[in-house]
Amino acid sequence: MNLILIAGMPASGKSTLASKISEAFHYPVLEKDELKEALFDSLGFENYAQKRKLDTAANAVLMRALESMLKSSTSVIAVNNFRSDMQKPLQDLLDKYDCRVVTVFLGGDPDVFFLRYNERDRLHLRHLGHVLQEHYPPHEGDSLDHEMTRSEFAEKFEKLGMGDLTLSGARIDIDMTHPESVDVSLLIEKIRKELEI
């Protein structure tokens, strides 16, 4: 069985790329943000601390679902920021199950990702639970907009060691500063070669 991990900064294009890789390999996709959105809709939050707990819960559910799929010998694509604190639990999981692993890390210019992050929120291209910081669902009269500052972006994302993810198996680094210049077909062939399929 095969495991493809799609990791990287927010707004680096993980979901879009995962969808294309899924089409090529016909593997299901487990995505942390989709799990978190289900928790937003089911439980909501009334302050930022509660929102962070839902993020932690979504990571836990992702890991549990990933283990279930590996246990049943199901090849899968997992999408997450994969912060540095997930390094050991992930490696423990890989050590437990016999699977070939490729990590595709989406890096690039964090200033570009910051602008892209705010732009998609401004255009409401994401679930509102990601955008709103204090409570979800929004209260009557609440603004549906929140623009993150550059320093907030650095604190919440850049300092979490996402680029330090080092697991067994191959790692392919892609510069997603200009996603339109990325040759997805070539990337898919590289993944096939690493997985020996």
* Token output for 163: 């680029």
* Token output for 130: 């990601």
Q: Where are the beta strands (DSSP E) in 26-82?
A: 29-31, 76-79
What's the domain count of the chain? 1
How does pLDDT run across 62-94, given as a tens digit for each residue? 999 999 999 999 999 999 999 888 999 999 999
76-79/29-31 β-pairing: parallel
Please tell me the distance from the alpha carbon of residue 132 to that of residue 147, in angstroms, as a whole number: 10
Q: Where are the beta strands (DSSP E) in the chain?
A: 2-8, 29-31, 76-79, 100-107, 170-175
What is the predicted pLDDT for the residue at 157?
87
Instruction: Look up the domain containing 86 and give its range.
Output: 2-195
Please tell me the distance from the alpha carbon of residue 174 to that of residue 8, in angstroms, as a whole number: 10
pTM for this model (two decimals) = 0.94
* Token output for 117: 């992050």
What is the predicted pLDDT for the residue at 39?
98
**8 Å CB contact between 191 and 21:** yes
Q: In this model, does residue 55 exceed pLDDT 90?
A: yes
Please tell me the distance from the alpha carbon of residue 127 to that of residue 155, in angstroms, as a whole number: 22
**What CATH number does residue 173 fall under?**
3.40.50.300
Of the ranges 12-21, 71-80, 131-140, 155-164, which one carries the lowest mean pLDDT score?
155-164
- Provide the 8-state DSSP code for 36: H
